Chains A and B, each alone.
Chain A
Amino acid sequence: MSAARDQILGHIRRSLGRGEGAEAAAAREAVDARLTERPRGLIPERARTPDPDALVALFQEKAARVDCTTQVIASLDELPDAVADYLARENLPAELRMGAHPDLTAAPWDSRPTLSVSTGPTDGSHAVSVAAAFAGAAETATLALLSGPDAPTTLNFLPESEIVLLRKSRLVGPYEDVWRLLRARNEEAGGLPRTVNLITGPSRTGDIEQTIELGAHGPLRLHVVILDDV
């Protein structure tokens, strides 16, 4: 195994014609610099606005284009109503599976007694999931969800419908700002989570005659509830 490793790396070095000594040191420095400084590239103009309202508008516009529905609520107290009304509108069962994320458990689910709520991962037997986004990139209506004890990854893929709570204070313009927030989180958490899911609209496929159909393997519906906490 290590023979293969040494041979591959040796071959790369020979092919690149990189010398020893000062040249090798300079290459190492260039790599170290890039990995520590992590230079930001060109950010599209549309993603550069710092105005939270403009970001919400951009997110909603981009979401609509990828068949993702959105709504804005003013406080966590409104979450159960938003969810229950959405389920009724879409004619979906009033049973929810969610992670034990503090934002989700803090919502007054009892206010809608018809909703039955359970927490934990799913084995595919749950039709509707609720998750809390770590952040959102308005640039393309992209949600960032992190795996963790209170955020099972299966909730993002097995249920037929997913509802995601996104705090307006966590809505940024470009993907690069999501990484900025993630790196700050990693400092505290001691590293990356196993999975970072960037999700943009529901599951889709064009594999049969280029006809776009939703709900290929993952959710058929994606509804984003934006919490106005700014």
Chain B
Amino acid sequence: MQTTTPQFKENARTALANPQLQQALTKMKVGFVERRAQARAALPEFDALRDQARDIKNHTLEHLDLYLERFEEKVTAAGGHVHWARNAEEARRQVIEICRGVEAKSVTKGKSMISEEIALNGALEEAGFEVVETDLGEYIIQLRKEHPSHIIAPAIHVLKEQVAEDFRAHHIQFDKARPLTEPRQLIAEARQVLRQKYLDSDVGITGANFLIAETGTSVIVTNEGNGDLTQTLPKVHVVIASLEKVVPTLDDASAILRVLARSATGQEFSAYTTFSTGPRRPDDPDGPEQYHVILLDNGRSGMLGTEYQDMLRCIRCGACMNHCPVYGAVGGHAYGWVYPGPMGAVLTPSFIGVDQGGHLPNASTFCGRCAEVCPMRIPLPKMMRHYRAKEYEEGLAPPAMRFGLDLWGFVATKPRLYRLATRIAMGLLGRLGRKRGRFARLPLAEGWTRHRDFPAPEGSTFQDQWDAMGGAR
């Protein structure tokens, strides 16, 4: 996928000025947050289960090579095939080869972020295949030629009136005067259109929420059932998954499932959690004849053993973006690549480089809500801080910011100078602002005062007040 991450600031400005997007984001903010809070309150063991989920993934990552070997062995024993892909290019080629091998014409897809990461749709279309997204949200944005703006609700930025317009433009087989004002009507129409696509499809591609080493099983979690139709009806089922999706056992998968849906949509469990092992058995009346798993690295093996290893615990629930004030203000597209929100602020520089993704770790107020709600207890702000430091060290931060940081660094490492400078500054600001208690405009701080007042200081520094109160040193 083409990245616009380096233009994050412009993207954000455009997003803030987009009334339709702002309306859609307002609807999102209440829903996810409240439902997660209710789900958490309804399960007393929830936080203990988060600790456990973290520990399971930590153990798995420390033995990742061994669990992947075991997974491969079990898939092969069940009659499936495992393909290893070092990067996006290799993964795309493997999928295309499989499709060509069965002379496929039409390919249906369940929702997969890995597919976005490797820009699979474009490559398949270029190779001559018809590609149909079957998750309702993904289908909507495919019609709109857009990318997902949220990892679990890809069309969250689209209003229902816009969906109706898209359906009228694309589904020309139906009566022009049909009513499409209610979500119910839109869903019924999509159901009807996509039903035929499933039946005509030659290859079904899904992602995986988990891979299970014990049994060589891939797992998908959906609410619509689209992933199941995608992987059941065609001759071939292709799973595209990244390395860190593996867990040891069925028990481990269910332990993590207990925190997944609750964190994502606030459901206790998603409607469909499906465990697939190999192709259909000789006596089975339905199911795919071939089963392939593509294991994608694309930079993940390099994150192991670094300060970013914790990020590989991520189960893609989206809680971090649902609770993020920055995501809530600008939406997912502003982030400019596949993964938005706090998780994207760590993954994007990891996968496409600090030079491309360095803006994102700065797009944070460090309020810490993302880490607070993460079911896998990933310290997101800490990792964003690492990337900020890296951006500075590599000389990628803009000159004004570097100058400011250098100046502050110079003063802050000289206590006497620091105390003197702050005493003068606070005294001055305190006198100037005493009357109104705030500043509507302040030189050098327009970035702040353009949108809100700056509270006036009391007149003396904390250290002086501490001394005056006789505080211990």
Contact = CB atoms under 8 A, between A and B. Distances in A.
Do A and B come together as binding partners? Answer: yes
Interface of A: 1, 4-5, 7-9, 11-13, 15-17, 27-28, 30-31, 34-35, 38-42, 44-45, 62, 65-66, 99, 120-121, 123-124, 140, 142, 147-149, 152-154, 156-158, 174-176, 179, 182, 191-211, 213, 215-219
B70 interface: yes
Interface residues of B, number: 101
B421 interface: no
Among all A-B residue pairs, the 9 with the closest Cβ atoms: A218-B225, A216-B224, A15-B304, A207-B137, A175-B254, A11-B301, A196-B275, A140-B269, A198-B273
A8 B273 CA distance: 29
B45 A154 contact: no
Given A15-B301, A28-B66, A210-B153, A203 B224 contact: yes
A217 B287 contact: no
Contacts of B66: 27-28, 31
B64 interface: yes
A209 B183 contact: yes
State the majority secondary structure of interface residues on B: mixed
Contacts of A218: 224-226, 228-229, 271-272
B258 A15 contact: no
B232 interface: yes
Interface string B366-395: 000000000000000000000000000000
29 contacts: A4-B84, A9-B65, A9-B69, A35-B249, A38-B214, A38-B248, A44-B43, A44-B44, A45-B45, A66-B268, A120-B285, A153-B232, A191-B277, A194-B277, A194-B280, A198-B272, A200-B268, A202-B271, A207-B136, A208-B155, A210-B32, A210-B156, A213-B187, A215-B188, A216-B191, A216-B223, A217-B225, A218-B225, A218-B228
Given A4-B90, A154-B233, A39 B195 contact: no
B286 A152 contact: yes
B122 interface: no
A205 B223 contact: yes
B208 to A, nearest CB: 14
Nearest to A160: B191
Contact of B187 (A8, A66, A195, A205): A205
A99 to B, nearest CB: 8
A5 B191 contact: no
Given A62-B268, A175-B257, A16 B62 contact: yes
B11 interface: no
Contact of A42 (B45, B195, B243, B303): B45
B149 to A, nearest CB: 12
Contacts of B45: 42, 44-45
Contacts of A16: 62, 64-65, 304-305
Given A157-B228, A194-B276, A201 B254 contact: no
Contacts of A30: 59, 63
B163 interface: yes
A215 to B, nearest CB: 7
